[in-house]
Amino acid sequence: GDAGGRAHFVFVPLMAQGHLIPAVDTALLLATHGAVCTIAGTPATAARVRPTVDSARRSGLQVRLVEFPLDYAAAGMPEGADNADNVPAEHMRSYFGAMARLREPIESYLRARAPFPTCVVSDFCHPWTTVLAANLGVPRLSFFSMCAFCLLCQHNVERFKAFEGIAADDEPVVVPGLEKKVAVTRAQAPGFFRGSAAWEVFADYIERAQAEADGVIMNTFEEMEPEYVAGYAAARKMKVWAIGPVSLYHQQRAATLAARGYATAAIDAGECLRWLDGKEPGSVVYVSFGSIARAGAKQAVELGLGLEASGHPFIWVVRNAHEYDAAARAFLDELEARVAGRGLLVRGWAPQVLILSHAAVGGFVTHCGWNSTLEAVAAGLPVVTWPHFTDQFLNEKMAVEVLGIGVSVGVTEPLMYRAVEKEIVVGRGVVEAAVRSVMGGGEEAEERRRRARALAAKARVAMQKGGSSHGNLLDLVKRFKAV
Ligand code: UDP
């Protein structure tokens, strides 16, 4: 078709599920509003999102996916570290450096094909896209799959030097300049609060992605956190487009919903739905720690025992079961046999949003990755919060203290990437109590559920015609149309 006059967004997502999935959803949303979108990445990026993009193309959206091979070895990367979600923290900086090698091929590709881009929308971890946009002579917007509350906390901690003079990593400090009194330790947000060398690269990139960009796109919605969206925009003097929850793009689209994020889920979507169809409304608890965080073998056994003791039906995503020792693997098999019919174990990738959208699901034990947290909001579900690292502790504060839809398992220290084998951090009794509290009856639980449902209703309205996120998407398409 004729794309003249249309906005053409070039997406450069980061190759990590929690960044990639919402960026692709955003591209698809912009395309439904009339934009042309090009998603540029590595072959590994493309493989993960191709089914979703192909399905969107079949429904007539102008979205294309282009892949550019990358020589990771030449960039000094360890073997197999082709995705940011399997790069060890100490290699993060060189991984991001390697990604910068994509600038030239992406630029030549874009120059050689019509329509010419009108805007670059890139992950906050890609500072080199500022140069890409400048060379093309178009604006760069930074894409954040974070909430405004989190980014404002990060900003205020830096601006007011909140941790200056605080020696201990585990000393809680009240984040300055917020309406809500929220206390965090430096250790709880590696990369968000400076202090941990391996993660400092994130703090640098978060800052640059704001200082060097022409605006930010956030996967959040104004009605959920009006004071923080406005407060953030004012504090950073930044143009903000809140366009979420982007997962709602998939609401009426069974095909993309089942494929979201991965070509090969570890369980058939139909099987999952059939299993859920047999359960009472609101009775099932869904348990997942996202794409990076993982429970060590001992912790997994403890978590399993807690779920069993809770008495509630559950779907438990044990993504890294293959890494466990024989004893833990045997435990999982035995548990599965004991709770047959009541518990479903998924050893790999689960169709999360599809599961969360099912009426049988009544709660979500989450690591508080922002996408998962917002997906819970969009589905109207209360959460049990079990943060591990990066922005997850801040998201926990958001869910528990700001939104009032969560019960914390009480993790106080970061559970670092791949360093969680050794310990049981959360005991089975705590798991059981938190699940019972979120899934059970009683005044408090009811109120939590009411708040979660009310937020979901607002989310839906935000994404519909006349809603705030819908309006912000339209504004992007209008503002960045070709002249
Ligand atoms: N996800 C999924 N299936 C899984 C695990 C994760 O679909 O088995 C999706 C989830 O719906 C979310 C994303 O992957 O959209 C994870 O992002 P999040 O920010 O929650 O956590 P991260 O993986 O970045 O820590």
Give Dmax (Cα) for the chain: 64
Cβ proximity of 313 and 345 under 8 Å:
no
Q: ω into residue 245 within 30 of 0, thus cis?
A: yes
Pick the atom of ligand 1 nearest to 388's CA.
25
CA 392 to centroid of ligand 1, rounded, Å: 12
**What is the pLDDT, as a whole number, of residue 421?**
63
CA 130 to centroid of ligand 1, rounded, Å: 27
Least confident of 7-11, 179-183, 195-199: 195-199
Q: 3-class DSSP state for residue 286? A: strand
Pick the atom of ligand 1 nearest to 370's CA.
19
**What's the rounded mean pLDDT across residues 148-166?**
95
**What is the pLDDT, as a whole number, of residue 96?**
86
User: Cα separation of 36 and 20, whole Å?
Assistant: 18
For a mutational test of ligand 1's pocket, the pick from 19, 21, 347, 416, i.e. the residue with the most ligand atoms closer than 8 A to its C-beta, is 21
**What would the pLDDT profile of 393-410 be if each residue is shown by its tens digit?**
999 999 999 999 999 999
Supply the residue whose CA is at minimum distance from atom 2 of ligand 1.
Answer: 352
**What is the pLDDT, as a whole number, of residue 243?**
98
Supply the residue whose CA is at minimum distance from atom 21 of ligand 1.
Answer: 369
**What would the pLDDT profile of 159-170 be if each residue is shown by its tens digit?**
999 999 998 989
Instruction: Provide the pLDDT confidence category of residue 95 given band limits of 50, 70 and 90.
Output: confident
Pick the atom of ligand 1 nearest to 390's CA.
25
Q: 3-class DSSP state for residue 329? A: helix
Which residue type, as a one-letter code, is found at position 85? D
Supply the residue whose CA is at minimum distance from atom 11 of ligand 1.
Answer: 352
**What is the pLDDT, as a whole number, of residue 420?**
56
CA 373 to centroid of ligand 1, rounded, Å: 10
Q: Distance of CA 381 to CAs 283, 402, 451, Å?
A: 11, 15, 9
Residue 133 has pLDDT above 70, yes or no: yes
**What is the pLDDT, as a whole number, of residue 422?**
65
**What is the pLDDT, as a whole number, of residue 468?**
98
Residue 126 has pLDDT above 70, yes or no: yes
Instruction: Provide the pLDDT confidence category of residue 146 given band limits of 50, 70 and 90.
Output: very high
Instruction: Provide the pLDDT confidence category of residue 195 given band limits of 50, 70 and 90.
Output: confident
Describe the chain by its helix, strand, coil percentages, rounded to 5.
50, 15, 40
Q: At 115, list the tokens.
A: 């329509």
Q: What are the pocket residues of ligand 1 if the criterion is a CB atom closer than 6 Å to any ligand atom?
A: 17-18, 21, 260-261, 288, 290-293, 317, 349-350, 352-353, 369-372, 375
Least confident of 186-190, 242-246, 336-340: 186-190
CB contact set of 369 (below 8 Å; sequence gap of 6+): 18, 290, 291, 292, 293, 392, 395
**What is the pLDDT, as a whole number, of residue 268?**
87
Picking from 79, 104, 77, 83, the residue whose alpha carbon sits closest to that of residue 13 is 83
For a mutational test of ligand 1's pocket, the pick from 291, 354, 366, 374, i.e. the residue with the most ligand atoms closer than 8 A to its C-beta, is 291
CA 351 to centroid of ligand 1, rounded, Å: 9
User: Cα separation of 107 and 12, whole Å?
Assistant: 12
78 compared with 429, residue with greater pLDDT: 429
**What would the pLDDT profile of 276-331 be if each residue is shown by its tens digit?**
999 999 999 999 999 989 899 999 999 999 999 999 999 999 988 998 999 999 99
Residue 423 has pLDDT above 90, yes or no: no
Least confident of 67-71, 250-254, 476-480: 250-254
Picking from 386, 374, 383, 379, the residue whose alpha carbon sits closest to that of residue 404 is 383
As a dihedral over the C-alpha atoms of residue 239, residue 371, residue 159, residue 212, rounded to 10 degrees, the angle is -50
Question: What single-letter DSSP state applies at residue 117?
Answer: P
**What's the rounded mean pLDDT across residues 67-91?**
78
Percent residues over pLDDT 90 in the chain = 78
**What is the pLDDT, as a whole number, of residue 417?**
52
**What is the pLDDT, as a whole number, of residue 275?**
97
Crossing angle for the helix pair 428-439 and 297-310, nearest 10 degrees? 40
Least confident of 86-100, 296-310, 333-347: 86-100
CA 318 to centroid of ligand 1, rounded, Å: 13
User: Cα separation of 400 and 373, whole Å?
Assistant: 11
Q: How high is the mean pLDDT of the chain?
A: 93
CA 264 to centroid of ligand 1, rounded, Å: 14
Instruction: Provide the pLDDT confidence category of residue 1 given band limits of 50, 70 and 90.
Output: very low
CA 17 to centroid of ligand 1, rounded, Å: 6
Supply the residue whose CA is at minimum distance from atom 17 of ligand 1.
Answer: 18
Residue 101 has pLDDT above 50, yes or no: yes
Cβ proximity of 151 and 235 under 8 Å:
no
> Which sign, positive or negative, has the C-alpha torsion 123, 127, 132, 133?
positive
Backbone phi, psi, residue 343, to 5°: -125, 140
Residue 370 has pLDDT above 80, yes or no: yes
